[in-house]
Amino acid sequence: MEVGELSSPLAQHQYGETCVVCEQMKTKGIHLYTSFICIDCEKDIIHTDSSNPKYKYYLKQLRKINTPEIFS
């Protein structure tokens, strides 16, 4: 499911989400379980070869998704 881009600057500031990979506030991307991945990171992950040094970085960041969030 893709999140549509928000039109007004105020809406973008209030309703953006933090990407689990780049840790920046973005308005467009995908949800994977309870995590958000921005469209830019998604494209980079898809096109990164496993021999590229960036691949290990993406794996490290994506491991955060496996960590269950405990709300108490």
Range of the domain at 51: 2-66
* DSSP states of 56-67: HHHHHHHGGGGS
Q: Tell whether 50 is covered by a domain.
A: yes
Helix boundaries (H) for 19-63: 39-47, 53-62
Judge whether residue 32 has pLDDT over 60: yes
Question: Is it the case that residue 27 has pLDDT exceeding 60?
Answer: yes
> Mean of the pLDDT values across residues 45-65?
93
Comparing 4-8, 15-19, 53-57, the range with the smallest average pLDDT is: 4-8
3 pLDDT higher than 60: no
> Is 72 a domain residue?
no
**Alpha-carbon span 60 to 2, nearest angstrom:** 23
Residue 71 lies inside a defined structural domain of this protein: no
Q: How many structural domains is the chain composed of?
A: 1
Instruction: Give me the chain's average pLDDT, please.
Output: 82
Task: Look at residue 60 and tell me if it is in a domain.
Answer: yes
pLDDT at residue 67 tops 90:
no
